[in-house]
Structure 1
Amino acid sequence: MPSFSVLVPFVPRRPEQLATYAALVHWTRASRLWQGQSLTVEAHQGFAHAAGTGFGVPTGLGVSLMPLRHPYEAAMQARSLALATGHSVLAGFGPGGRSLQSAMRGSPYDSPLTAAEEYVTIVRRLLHGEALDFVGQYYHCKGALPPSPAPDIQVGLGVLRPGMARLAGRLADAAITWLTPASYLRETVIPALREGAEAAGRPIPRLVAMVPMALPVPDLDMAEIALASNGPHMTAPHYIDMLGRAGIDVTSSDPLVNARSLIKGGAFLAGETDELVGQIKGFWDVGVDEVVINLTGIANIRGPQAAMRQVKTITTVLSALEETR
């Protein structure tokens, strides 16, 4: 059954900032608490801290950047988080941009797809209890994790375009998207996921869509909120390409024009509560298994408390909707 989850809409500077969001997931019908890559309070440690305050909840890492962590360490940290929280973990990974790859490795991946395939293969096999002697183009791993029972851990892959979607279909437990309109998921991502899964003779993986959105704020243009949420994405080549494939042009010299294109194209959801919920249902209707509520734009402009007020409103309505299904 389709579900909804919540993204921590800011980069935490203290682990206690996560507690209110963990409590929200604990007390509502939200499936999971998500956090993106953080270079301050690291997501694994922040979630473990929240569990220590009494709010252990299912968690999602969306997505951890591969160049920052060896896959053995990634598998170990994901299992450690599951043990610390007592709940399932969906650990998502992605290669990051070429500049990050160069900064961490000395040069970018010649083939991000090959690097992702090796990374996800190692992490999944380690978490399944295998002893590896893996030699790849980018990653080597000889060893195994010490046996230990733990809650369910799934491995996801960040997906924007068809090539990575086919790889996720072939290898991953979940595909995790960001800023992808429902129409693009239906027409491009899901067929590629299915193609990869069928080639591997396995079921299509779960699809998780991290969806930026906002309720109206009286003195703010919605385009300002969309820009605050996704400004850097609209200048990144891989996002420009994905959005172009989705029919959304973000190549204007005016950032606000590009932000309005996101709203018009359904990459950023905007509207009153009922309208917003209807748009979220549109993602479920095309086959998304989990919609992650992303209020980073509100948090960036008005702060975490304003974002929390909006996420409470949205989750209350979605929780009531789930109870009637």
Structure 2
Amino acid sequence: MRFSIMLPFVPRRLSSVYDFARLVDSGEGSRLWQGQATVTEPHQIFTELAGAGMRLSVGTGVTLMPLRHPFEAALQARSVAIATGRRMIAGFGPGAKSFQRSLRGSAYDSPLTAAAEYVQIVTALLRGGEVHTDGDYFSMHGALPSIQTAGVDVGLGVLRPGMARVAGRHADAAITWLTPPDYLRDVVVPALDDGTQGRRRRPHVVAMVPVGVRRAHHEVGHGARLALAGSAAHLSLPHYRDMLRRAGIAVTGTDAAGDARRLVEGNAFLYGDAEEILTATRAYADAGVDEIVLNTTGVLTVDGPRAALADLREILACARTLTPV
């Protein structure tokens, strides 16, 4: 199982990214991931890093479909692969209904259909040749100019079984966020396998896992404080709360501090010393996860970038001495 890192903030200048990118450039982490941002565009940050001499394996987890047509999405992803010289994972998702409405005027009546159309068009464009399709949400007639690249794997953000089946049928990767390992084992991975219909390999399973290393100076309840700082936005979204409730974590949406504590208790946020965190990742490996992305957003928000880097270095160093599978 690979260990990668999530850039735990939205960069405003490239120099702020260097220390985190070097963890991947040095081989300590497998891949550098960024989520969707509206301050700076993740594809451009990756390309700038390549221009600065750091040709990293990277992933977007996830960029939001309403922001760009599938042709533009394929072009952006391929541009990153050209710049880095490394195969990347381009992850996509429909986003919250409120976000869909703000950009499209209305939400997708069927996010599953929209996601399936989007991933199929992007994949077909990246694999070359003419694409001719008219869908309920996305249409495409044309092709990308042919060029040799390291390649792009197309991923889909997955929280619930319906989207997992779509990913199993159409995507190269399934990217999960805040999903406890038991839920992955019992719900997500079986739905991915169901989606493959026995005709293709299971997608590469990526789990974005929020983490924080417990320190001697931390007060009781610091783990929940980190969990809230890193996940408050997700806890405010109905589809995340629904997923967590399905996973047996009884979040309320009205008790933020209590919901954060429940994330820690339910292993959706891993808090402990580095060895305890690595031990907890065994459950993700047993569930079928291929790549864990260590997310220290909460640590950076509460304790600053040095603390986030220290946590990542300690966990990755522990991962080199312990085998979590």
**TM-score, structure 2 as length reference:** 0.96
Matching residue of 2:54: 55
Distance (Å, rounded) in 2 between the aligned partners of 1:180 and 1:259: 14
| Offset of residue 15 of structure 1 | 2.0
| Higher mean C-alpha deviation, range 255-264 or range 56-65 | 255-264
Matching residue of 2:45: 46
| Offset of residue 299 of structure 1 | 0.9
Matching residue of 2:2: 3
Distance (Å, rounded) in 2 between the aligned partners of 1:237 and 1:74: 26
| Higher mean C-alpha deviation, range 132-141 or range 214-223 | 214-223
Matching residue of 1:285: 286
Matching residue of 2:31: 32
Q: Judging changes above 3 Å, is the alpha-carbon distance between structure 1 residues 252 and 62 closer, same or farther for their aligned structure 2 residues?
A: closer
1:159 aligns with 2:158: yes
| 1:172-321 equivalence runs, <5 A | 172-198=171-197, 201-217=199-215, 218-220=217-219, 221-251=222-252, 253-321=254-322
| Offset of residue 256 of structure 1 | 1.2
Distance (Å, rounded) in 1 between the aligned partners of 2:250 and 2:53: 45
Secondary structure of 2:9's counterpart equals: coil
**TM-score, structure 1 as length reference:** 0.96
CA-atom RMSD in angstroms: 1.4
The amino acid that maps onto 2:244 is L
The amino acid that maps onto 1:276 is I
| 1:101-120 equivalence runs, <5 A | 101-120=100-119
Identical-pair percentage? 50
| Higher mean C-alpha deviation, range 16-25 or range 154-163 | 16-25
Secondary structure of 2:201's counterpart equals: coil
Kept after mapping to 1: 8 A contact 2:78/2:152: yes
Task: Provide structure 2 residue ranges, at least 5 long, that are not aligned to the other structure.
Answer: none
Q: How many residues align?
A: 322
Secondary structure of 2:59's counterpart equals: strand
Kept after mapping to 2: 8 A contact 1:18/1:47: no
The amino acid that maps onto 1:238 is H
Task: Provide structure 1 residue ranges, at least 5 long, that are not aligned to the other structure.
Answer: none
1:22 aligns with 2:30: no
Alignment deviations for residues 251-296 of structure 1 (CA, whole Å, 9 cap, x no partner)? 0632111111111111111101110110112211221000000001
Secondary structure of 1:231's counterpart equals: helix
Secondary structure of 1:232's counterpart equals: helix
Distance (Å, rounded) in 1 between the aligned partners of 2:320 and 2:36: 27
Distance (Å, rounded) in 2 between the aligned partners of 1:136 and 1:215: 47
Q: Judging changes above 3 Å, is the alpha-carbon distance between structure 1 residues 304 and 192 closer, same or farther for their aligned structure 2 residues?
A: same
Q: Judging changes above 3 Å, is the alpha-carbon distance between structure 1 residues 43 and 61 closer, same or farther for their aligned structure 2 residues?
A: same
Distance (Å, rounded) in 1 between the aligned partners of 2:63 and 2:316: 25
Alignment deviations for residues 55-85 of structure 1 (CA, whole Å, 9 cap, x no partner)? 1110000000000011100000101000001
| Offset of residue 320 of structure 1 | 3.2
| Offset of residue 319 of structure 1 | 2.6
Distance (Å, rounded) in 2 between the aligned partners of 1:14 and 1:252: 34
| Offset of residue 16 of structure 1 | 2.3
Alignment deviations for residues 34-56 of structure 1 (CA, whole Å, 9 cap, x no partner)? 00001122111101111111111
